[in-house]
Chains A and B, each alone.
Chain A
């Protein structure tokens, strides 16, 4: 039994045929499309390393069947940069030491992008910590991650202000 799928991944339309409905969005990205920036940590929705944006919303790619994402738009860490220029969220993670080993970082950055889009955290470190609680960091870079998210959010809000004027 085969399953034809149409997905837009990082702005590129992809037509894919799956031979097994068990394939998760995470395995499709990593094993079939060689988009290995999205990491597999726990593979059960607990660590957040596989966070991607599906139709603009944060999800764990390990908890979505690829077949179930037919017609969707997916943004992964590979689609975040504009050419060689880092996205402001990426730059903020470097500036604030929001990482050590880096394994969780793609998921942290995708989650931060989602959180900033949701607009629910404001300038409150406690709410940023709560909003980022689905992303574990075994190195314990949480303090830097919180600072990076707050800083990136301020910078992005400033950019929007300039665009509007």
Chain B
């Protein structure tokens, strides 16, 4: 067995120094629920694990300027129990609640769900739809990027080896805005998404959609932000015509694989259906937030 070092730095700068100075592969540990499985299977063989959980602020949820700042290693359980966050971003919270079991959520984090870079990660389409940004720390300071720009392919991210995510920002909401996330799995719990769909909308006083973001998971190498889906919703009250355009745009955006969870044709069909259903929930929630 090769040697493995472990460090739990107390500051962001110390963590960056450790990542930059590592000889060999260094892995960032936030929750660890994916990393430990990969360590045991031998899929990853790091020389160094940098545990971020001792860094002040990396765990916790703060309301800032009407929006939310979620520390990168905040557990899914903490996110699920945050009533104010659930009221404003119900889609992000319901997506996070779908990651594994309650026990897994006792450790699992948004940064881990994102940087594990599975196309089927549940929180990712919801975060993209919500317009979340990731704050990435590195030797040159901090940069803020939209969540959809973090993952570049299965198991790959745009982060440099000496960078890691310290927090996520969810922006202040306009009135009559809400989000929703749905996933399809063949059972009711504890499975990996065949398709996931996140929808975020803002309505005007008459109930007409003025802004929308739609993201699909598990239908391409990365979660997709689908502009044509958003365009199908904007200007509508979610009538049949808008739903049909949304469904078509969602299906057109899919580039899925065949695997044991679903065929290409099935995933494409389900993506359209889930986008419609998630949009209906998001519209209903947004109308109730006037």
Distance (whole angstroms) from the CB of A123 to the closest CB of chain B:
18
Classify the secondary structure of A's interface with B.
mixed
A135 to B190, CA, bound (A): 10
In the bound complex, residues from chain A placing their C-beta under 8 Å from that of B81 are 118
Whether B6 pairs with A21 at a CB distance below 8 angstroms is yes
Q: By the criterion of a CB under 8 Å from any partner CB, how many residues of chain A are at the interface?
A: 33
**Residue of A22, A57, A63, A111 touching B4 (CB-CB under 8 A):** A22
Whether A63 pairs with B189 at a CB distance below 8 angstroms is no
Known: A44-B37, A130-B189. A65 touches B107 (CB 8 A): no
User: Which of B18-26, B28-36, B233-241 sits within the interface?
Assistant: B28-36
* 0 or 1 for each of A58-89: is its CB under 8 Å from B? (1 = yes): 11101111011010000000000000000000
Distance (whole angstroms) from the CB of A88 to the closest CB of chain B:
20
Whether A131 pairs with B102 at a CB distance below 8 angstroms is yes
A129 to B146, CA, bound (A): 37
Distance (whole angstroms) from the CB of B67 to the closest CB of chain A:
26
Whether A65 pairs with B103 at a CB distance below 8 angstroms is no
Q: By the criterion of a CB under 8 Å from any partner CB, how many residues of chain B are at the interface?
A: 29
A-B contact pairs, 21 of them (CB 8 A): A1-B3, A21-B5, A44-B41, A45-B33, A46-B190, A48-B103, A57-B75, A59-B107, A60-B33, A60-B106, A62-B36, A63-B107, A64-B36, A65-B6, A114-B102, A115-B102, A130-B188, A131-B102, A133-B101, A133-B188, A133-B190
Interface residues of B (CB under 8 A from A): 3-6, 8, 29, 32-33, 36-37, 39-41, 49, 51, 53, 75, 77, 81, 100-104, 106-107, 188-190
Q: In chain A, residues 7-64, which have Cβ atoms closer than 8 Å to a Cβ of chain B? A: 20-22, 24, 43-46, 48, 51, 54, 57-60, 62-64
A134 at interface by CB-CB < 8 Å: yes
Known: A65-B32, A70-B8. A45 touches B189 (CB 8 A): no
Interface residues of A (CB under 8 A from B): 1, 3, 20-22, 24, 43-46, 48, 51, 54, 57-60, 62-65, 67-68, 70, 111, 114-115, 118, 130-131, 133-135
Whether A21 pairs with B49 at a CB distance below 8 angstroms is yes
A10 to B41, CA, bound (A): 31
Whether B103 pairs with A134 at a CB distance below 8 angstroms is yes
Distance (whole angstroms) from the CB of B275 to the closest CB of chain A:
25
In the bound complex, residues from chain B placing their C-beta under 8 Å from that of A70 are 8
In the bound complex, residues from chain A placing their C-beta under 8 Å from that of B102 are 58, 111, 114-115, 118, 131, 134
* Beta-carbon nearest neighbor of A3 in chain B: B6
Whether A63 pairs with B36 at a CB distance below 8 angstroms is yes
Distance (whole angstroms) from the CB of B252 to the closest CB of chain A:
35
Whether B101 pairs with A68 at a CB distance below 8 angstroms is no
Whether B51 pairs with A58 at a CB distance below 8 angstroms is no
Distance (whole angstroms) from the CB of A136 to the closest CB of chain B:
9
Whether B103 pairs with A68 at a CB distance below 8 angstroms is no
Distance (whole angstroms) from the CB of A114 to the closest CB of chain B:
7
A21 to B4, CA, bound (A): 7
In the bound complex, residues from chain A placing their C-beta under 8 Å from that of B40 are 43-44
Q: Top 6 A-B pairs ranked by shortest CB distance?
A: A134-B101, A21-B6, A59-B106, A133-B189, A60-B103, A57-B106
A19 to B81, CA, bound (A): 36
